[in-house]
Amino acid sequence: GVLSSKNYPGTYPNNSWCEWQIHVPIGHTIVLKFGDLNMEKKGCESDYLKVLKGSHGTEN
């Protein structure tokens, strides 16, 4: 499948929050591929990508 932010490929509205939860059965693996990722410049705390692993959201 494909995930994208609101209004993609245009800009998203200020103060937007995009969050996806992907659940995979135990023993299975997923592959994340990022094709078009445009982040704010260094030092911006509002624009980020976080990938968590496990049922308790362990950062990885």
Please say whether the dihedral angle defined by the alpha carbons of residues 29, 33, 41 and 20, taken in this order, is positive or negative.
negative
Please indicate, yes or no, whether the overall pTM of this predicted structure exceeds 0.75: no
Q: What is the pLDDT of residue 39?
A: 79
Q: Which residues of the chain have pLDDT under 70?
A: 55-60
Domain of 58, in residue numbers: 1-60
> Given the structure tokens 């995979």, which residue do they identify?
24
Q: What is the pLDDT of residue 33?
A: 92
Q: What is the pLDDT of residue 58?
A: 59
Q: Distance (Å, rounded) from C-alpha 7 to C-alpha 3? A: 12
Q: How many domains does the chain have?
A: 1
